[in-house]
Structure 1
Amino acid sequence: MADFRSLEVFYWVATLSSFRRASEQVNTTQPAVSQRIAALEHEYGTLFERRSRDVALTERGRVLLGFAERFLALQSEMIAALDETGRTTGTLRLGVSETIVHLWLSRFIERMRAEHPGIGVDITVDISPNMQAALVANELDLAFLVGPITVPSLVNRPLFQAPVAWIAAPGLVPDEEPLSLGALMRHPLVTYPRNTSPYVELRDLVLRANLLPSQIHTSASLATIVKMGIERLGICVIPPDVVRDELSSGVLRVLPVEQALSDLTFTATHAKRSEGHFVVDAARIAEEVARDWAAAR
């Protein structure tokens, strides 16, 4: 009869399609994972098709996965019910886009502290491509990033959309309305790093229009981008939401332009887990906090 540990190992092999990555997820060795899967297959028949780089569930495997998910969800419910406080303890390894740091991260931390007082939050601020890699490598439990991420082992929960605009200090750009792309390209541009969606869109616009900007500066620090804009070092290509105070005070202004930019879509993304897991609940809390923030902005 399969025990909870074997079902947990099976669940992660099925979810990640890899014995190696499953061993990292459950903090054991790859031979130990193989041994548990072999024992399950001895009892229930072939559960996986072995391929050159990964594994795929057989029909029997798909049936067992449904039961494994139910067993693991029941286990989480049992642990919560037997816990004297009804709370989980541990650490949430959280990756966050700096845009969200400037918007509503503090509200999320307050909600986590209220609903999960036993969970500490270890925050890493990074760009979305790096956080995606960290999620896949099991170096992060949850990330608030530009998504959704189309990886089978990951779950995406929608957070909000942030418009992106051309923003500059008053007087840097002539008061033409609306400004053409060519007029914008006569000034240095300041935006997110090269492997992010705002930079890629900006680069593609330039290539399609056969234009050559005077310079494109990039930074992983949103605070640095904003400071460069205030100091008239270029036109910032960022969401206006992160510079509301500067826009209200007149230190920066949103430029009237012909060329609109795509919104940034943010998601709370994590590896597939059973319902009731604190990471799943943290994603739910983030969705609620983001929705309340968006309604009030």
Structure 2
Amino acid sequence: MISLSAQMVEAVAGRTALSGTVQLGASDTIVHTWLSTLLKRLSVEYPEITLEVNVDATPNLTAGLSDGTIDVALLMGPVNASNADNLPLCSYPISWIVSSDFECEAATLALNDLARHPIITFSRSTRPYMQLKEMFDRAHLHHVRIFGNSSLSSIVRMTFDGIGVAAIPHHVVAEHLACGRLRRIETGHEMPVMPFTASFVRRMDMPLSSIVAGLAQDVAAHYEMR
């Protein structure tokens, strides 16, 4: 009935009549792509909704959904819980990213040549880290140095400084690639893909979750079409 009441308020009084606080959890990748656009849309279309943003890794965001400290999570999903709704957002493949003055000017390298350099990627507890580790293991490259990092900004900074090769979605560094500060390397191997969802648990006391998740889905779709 609370959810129905929110729908009735929106239908009769308009979006500006909806109010409340939403705890929004977001993956670092979303922060570096289209989260700011979502926040702007929400402030314009639902000015009385207050957001408290928590940036964290997917395992922690999933736990937050379970214990109720997070209302909506933009994470690598879907969340495998019977009471969770998962709206598909976007899928970003991992790319090999190097600094503009990387020692090899070729656009394509063999995986074993790339593996001679430190690989900088998401933290050890994440799906991309484990998938990359499996990729190198399948290629019998068991001594690769993989630097797990929970901060995407730090990964990008380390790549700028030439510390190693970043394994991250190229979407998060699109501006740096366009201006030539960073560049992509291809290896010919199929790369892991990071699928994101807007996930939430329907609760009678939080009818705004579906509204925020739906708007996130719309923003992600427009970002993909740019």
Q: TM-score, normalised by structure 1?
A: 0.70
> Given the alignment, which residue of 114, 125, 128 partners 1:184?
114
CA distance in 1, matches of 2:2, 2:63: 26
Equivalent residue letter for 1:256:
E
In the TM superposition, what are the counterparts of 1:77-226 in structure 2 within 5 Å? 77-78=7-8, 87-176=17-106, 178-226=108-156
CA distance in 1, matches of 2:145, 2:46: 47
Determine whether 1:281 maps to 2:201.
Answer: no
**Aligned twin of 1:243:** 173
Change beyond 3 A, Cα 1:281–1:187: same
Change beyond 3 A, Cα 1:177–1:93: closer
Decide which structure has greater strand share.
2
Change beyond 3 A, Cα 1:171–1:212: farther
Structure 1 residue 190: deviation in Å? 0.2
> Given the alignment, which residue of 151, 174, 184 partners 1:254?
184
Number of aligned residue pairs = 225
Structure 1 residue 179: deviation in Å? 1.5
CA distance in 1, matches of 2:218, 2:203: 19
Higher mean alpha-carbon deviation, 243-252 vs 166-175, is at 166-175
CA distance in 1, matches of 2:37, 2:15: 24
Change beyond 3 A, Cα 1:73–1:255: same
CA RMSD of aligned residues (A): 2.2
Greater than 3 Å deviation, 4+ residue runs: 71-86, 175-178
CA distance in 1, matches of 2:133, 2:14: 56
Give 5+ residue unaligned stretches, structure 1: 1-70
Give 5+ residue unaligned stretches, structure 2: none
Higher alpha-carbon Rg: 1
CA distance in 1, matches of 2:46, 2:26: 19
Change beyond 3 A, Cα 1:112–1:268: same
> Given the alignment, which residue of 227, 232, 235 partners 2:157?
227
Decide which structure has greater helix share.
1
CA distance in 2, matches of 1:73, 1:169: 50
CA distance in 2, matches of 1:230, 1:111: 32
CA distance in 2, matches of 1:177, 1:81: 54
Structure 1 residue 129: deviation in Å? 1.1
Structure 1 residue 80: deviation in Å? 5.3
**Aligned twin of 1:34:** none
- Partner secondary structure for residue 138 of structure 2: helix
Change beyond 3 A, Cα 1:281–1:85: closer
Instruction: Tell which has more relative contact order, 1 or 2 (C-alpha 8 A, sep 6+).
Output: 2
Change beyond 3 A, Cα 1:173–1:283: same
Higher mean alpha-carbon deviation, 202-211 vs 224-233, is at 202-211
